[in-house]
């Protein structure tokens, strides 16, 4: 397992995926703060240029920064990580490197666990660095930054990422190719997001609701019930997808 | 070292292996020969548990191998037919990873990597594998198979894509390695197998048709033939020889008559030719090549 972790880490390091995620995280963090801070000025400038009468735009607050941060993380960071995960889970088999790996005393279960662990370490590390940069710069620009609530909300947001990464892993185990796994995951993400407006039954706790719940948590608006159910469902589904993915991976290898 | 009994594998409706039996003894070079598509790679993939067998038993070093087992692979080195390795690693990083993936290697990794790189002539190479030529990849493929000091080396068509010099190097390497390990050498180049193998297993259409030690394969009369040169044309001579009912076979190859005597004594043959005023210039016994034997055995099987 240690050797597999090292092998997977080498891939992330040598193909600069680590630096891409850190760089992207820092860029998005900076962008979030700047967009939140200067959004009203930008809007007023744009309206003046178009000859539209200026309207009063409320003074930006730290809440706007949180919203911008999670919006950027969900729209860009999450999707980039999802594509890296798709490539990472499928690369050995689609390129034929699996023959070299599995001619050695390598457990197939350990192989998948190692990949899962490394992709999440990459995601968590990238998100954490981004959050640190965001927190540091937000403190200088806005007042009342909620440190502990913000870092707690990262965990809620990461469960959302965890669910979709495990979905990609499971789909790669079925199709053995990145393309179909990514296509289905992204379509699934957008379709599931459509149900975000439904606020009853199981729809209240869908994994796509987690970024909103993370924001509610920072603002102290998330109920314990919502938190427990959403996190429980997200984690439970992720574990189920992982087990199914490993099971299907064994079958897929044998199918080729 | 490796014993296979009644191994079967089907892909959809195609029977890739129809219940093959093999027996590879310790410290021998076992030549697994057959045409493309005969079932050689499928057999190797089943030995290494890349694919699931339909039925049959594999016994490696006295221990049964079941689907999903992997620890036994620590004793195996594998040289694939088309090596694909992580492009982003250097040869050294790749071999270090390869050795770390093995279980029982109480050896100095750095020293072993350095020695093996020297052995395959890649010691001073700092390039990434992505920039390697086909020949370099092949050498690296051998290096990764030897890095953990295996007892059993599986080579799947290692010479098929190499030039004559590269081929000779690999054959020399097999000879050298055969002193310290068992080698399962799959090839369709019969000339190569003939040079290095102690035992030949001949596979065709998913069936092992023959398994014999190379010495025994050529020692009996069935595997010898004679070349004949006369002062008449081959066609005229052949016409006369065809009247000898006890002759097994007469054919023309490389502008020379090739004769399998069967129950005919050489004297009878000379007498017959003399009666027809045909003078014998050369009459020489030679062993059949593995290629000729291969064609004969596979032809027999398809006509059976």
Give the model's confidence band at A49: pLDDT under 50 very low, under 70 low, under 90 confident, else very high: confident
Place of tokens 């590390």: A125
Which pair of tokens denotes residue A137? 């710069």
In this complex, do A104 and B50 lie within 8 Å of one another by their Cβ atoms?
A: no
Our CA dihedral for B132, B134, B135, B141, rounded to 10 degrees, sits at 80
User: Given a cut of 60, is residue A78 above it in pLDDT?
Assistant: yes
Contact between A100 and B84 using a beta-carbon 8 Å cutoff: yes
Q: Are A60 and A36 in contact (CB under 8 A)?
A: yes
Mean of pLDDT over chain A = 88
* Among chain A residues, CA nearest to B54: A254
Domain boundaries, chain A: 2-255
Nearest to B84 among A96, A102, A105 (CB): A96
Q: Report the complex ipTM.
A: 0.78
Q: Report the top-level CATH class of B2-213.
A: alpha beta
Question: How many Cα atoms sit within 13 Å of B50 on the Cβ side?
Answer: 20
| Contact with chain B for residue A256, Cβ under 8 A | yes
Burial of residue B277, with CB atoms counted within 10 A of its CB: 0-12 exposed, 13-18 middle, 19 or more buried: exposed
Position B221 scores a pLDDT of: 42
Please name the residue of chain B whose CA is at the shortest distance from the CA of residue A15: B88
Answer whether B97 sits within 8 Å of A7, measured CB to CB: yes
Burial of B87 (0-12, 13-18, 19+ CB in 10 A): middle
**Partner-chain contact B85 A100, CB within 8 Å:** yes
Judged by CB atoms closer than 8 Å, whether chains meet at A99 and B78 is answered as yes
- A256/B50 touch (CB, cutoff 8 Å), yes or no: yes
Span B220-303 CATH architecture = 2-Layer Sandwich (3.30)
Q: Is the pLDDT of residue A98 over 70?
A: yes
Give the integer Cα–Cα distance in Å for B77 and B72: 11
Helices A62-72 and A147-175, packing angle to 10 deg:
10
What crossing angle do the helices spanning A210-218 and A147-175 adopt, rounded to 10°?
170
Nearest to B96 by CA among A7, A229, A87: A7
The answer to whether A247 contacts chain B (CB < 8 Å) is no
Nearest to B88 among A2, A15, A256 (CB): A15
Q: Which residues of B154-179 are buried (b: 16+ CB within 10 A; e: fewer)?
A: bbbbbbeeeeeebbebbbebbeebbe
Strands (E), A121-181: none
Cβ contact A97–B86 (<8 Å):
yes
Residues A39-49, mean pLDDT to the nearest whole number? 78
Q: What confidence tier does A131 reach under pLDDT thresholds 50, 70, 90? A: very high
Q: Which residue of chain A is at minimal alpha-carbon distance from B128?
A: A14
Q: How many interchain CB pairs under 8 A, A with B?
A: 76
Instruction: Report domain extents, chain B.
Output: 2-213, 220-303
Least confident of A43-52, A139-148, B62-71: A43-52
Does residue A109 belong to the interface with chain B, where contact is any CB pair within 8 Å?
A: no
Ranges assigned E (strand) in B37-181: 55-60, 63-64, 76-79, 152-156
- Where are the extended beta strands (E) located within A199-249? none
Q: Residue A242: CB partners within 8 Å, gap ≥ 6?
A: A116, A166, A169, A170
Interatomic CA distance for residues B144 and A238, integer angstroms: 36
- Which of B177, B168, B188, B190 is CA-nearest to residue B143? B177
In three-state secondary structure terms, B148 is coil
Hey, what are B262's tokens?
């069967």
Residue among A15, A103, A254 whose CB faces B73 most closely: A103
| Least trusted range by pLDDT, from A88-92, A108-112, A172-176, B118-122 | B118-122
Chain A residues with CB-CB distance to B48 below 8 A? 102-103
Give the residue-averaged pLDDT of A60-70.
Answer: 88
Residues 6+ apart with CB under 8 A from B168: none
pLDDT at A65 over 50: yes
Q: How close is the nearest chain A Cα to the Cα of B48, in Å?
A: 6
Q: Look at residue B275 in the predicted model and tell me its pLDDT.
A: 87
Rounded distance between C-alpha atoms, residue A145 and residue A148, angstroms: 9
pLDDT tens string, chain B, 304 residues long: the values are: 899 999 999 988 888 898 899 999 998 999 998 888 888 899 999 999 888 888 899 999 889 988 888 889 999 999 998 888 999 999 899 999 999 998 766 577 888 888 888 887 777 878 898 888 887 888 889 899 988 889 999 999 887 767 777 788 888 888 888 888 999 999 887 778 878 888 989 888 888 888 888 877 766 545 567 888 888 888 888 888 888 877 778 888 777 788 887 777 888 888 888 888 888 888 887 766 666 667 766 666 655 5
The reported pLDDT for the residue numbered B224 is: 67
Residues in chain B: 304
Is A99 in Cβ contact with B50 (below 8 Å)? Answer: yes
Contact B48, A62 (CB under 8 A): no
Alpha carbon A8 to chain centroid, angstroms: 19
Q: What's the rounded Cα separation, in Å, for the pair B103 and B101?
A: 7
Instruction: Give yes or no for a contact between B259 and B247, defined as CB atoms under 8 angstroms apart.
Output: yes
A27 close to A76: Cβ distance less than 8 angstroms: no
Q: Identify the helix (H) or strand (E) that includes residue B8.
A: strand B2-11
């Amino acid at each position: 397992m240690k050797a597999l972790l090292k092998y997977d880490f080498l891939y992330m390091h040598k193909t600069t995926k680590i630096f891409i995620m850190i760089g992207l995280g820092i860029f998005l963090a900076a962008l979030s703060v700047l967009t939140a801070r200067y959004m009203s000025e930008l809007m007023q400038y744009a309206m003046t240029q178009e000859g539209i009468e200026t309207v009063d735009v409320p003074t930006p607050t730290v809440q706007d920064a949180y919203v911008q941060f999670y919006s950027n993380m969900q729209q860009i960071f999450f999707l980039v990580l999802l594509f890296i995960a798709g490539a990472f889970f499928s690369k050995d088999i689609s390129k034929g490197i699996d023959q070299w790996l599995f001619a050695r005393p390598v457990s197939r279960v350990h192989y998948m666990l190692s990949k899962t662990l490394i992709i999440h370490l990459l995601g968590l590390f990238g998100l954490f660095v981004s959050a640190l940069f965001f927190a540091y710069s937000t403190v200088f620009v806005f007042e009342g930054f909620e440190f502990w609530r913000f870092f707690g909300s990262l965990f809620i947001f990461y469960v959302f990422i965890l669910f979709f990464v495990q979905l990609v892993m499971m789909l790669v185990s079925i199709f053995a190719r990145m393309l179909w796994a990514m296509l289905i995951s992204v379509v699934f993400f957008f379709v599931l997001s459509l149900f975000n407006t439904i606020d009853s039954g199981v729809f209240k706790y869908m994994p796509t609701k987690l970024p909103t719940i993370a924001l509610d948590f920072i603002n102290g608006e998330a109920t314990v019930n919502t938190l427990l159910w959403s996190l429980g469902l997200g984690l439970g589904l992720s574990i189920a997808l992982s087990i199914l993915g490993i099971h299907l991976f064994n079958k897929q290898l044998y199918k080729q | 070292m490796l014993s296979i009994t009644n191994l079967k594998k089907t892909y959809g409706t195609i029977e890739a292996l129809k219940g093959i039996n093999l027996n590879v003894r310790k410290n021998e070079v076992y030549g697994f020969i057959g045409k493309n598509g005969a079932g050689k790679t499928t057999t190797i993939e089943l030995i290494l548990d890349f694919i699931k067998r339909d039925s049959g038993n594999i016994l490696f070093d006295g221990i049964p191998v079941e689907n999903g087992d992997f620890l036994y692979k620590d004793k195996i080195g594998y040289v694939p037919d088309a090596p694909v390795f992580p492009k982003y690693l250097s040869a050294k990083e790749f071999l270090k990873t390869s050795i770390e993936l093995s279980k029982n290697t109480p050896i100095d990794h750095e020293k072993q990597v350095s020695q093996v790189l020297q052995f395959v002539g890649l010691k001073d190479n700092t390039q990434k594998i992505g920039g390697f030529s086909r020949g370099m990849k092949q050498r690296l493929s051998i290096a990764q198979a030897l890095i953990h000091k295996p007892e059993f080396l599986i080579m799947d068509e290692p010479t098929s894509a190499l030039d004559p010099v590269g081929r000779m190097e690999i054959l020399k390497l097999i000879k050298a390695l055969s002193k310290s390990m068992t080698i399962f050498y799959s090839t369709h180049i019969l000339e190569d197998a003939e040079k290095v193998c102690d035992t030949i297993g001949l596979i065709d259409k998913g069936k092992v048709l023959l398994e014999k030690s190379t010495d025994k394969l050529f020692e009996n009369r069935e595997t010898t033939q004679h070349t004949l040169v006369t002062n008449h044309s081959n066609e005229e001579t052949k016409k006369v020889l065809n009247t000898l009912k006890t002759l097994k076979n007469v054919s023309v190859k490389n502008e020379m008559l090739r004769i399998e005597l069967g129950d005919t004594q050489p004297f009878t043959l000379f007498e017959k030719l003399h009666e027809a005023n045909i003078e014998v210039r050369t009459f020489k016994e030679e062993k059949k090549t593995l290629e000729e034997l291969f064609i004969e055995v596979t032809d027999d099987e398809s006509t059976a």
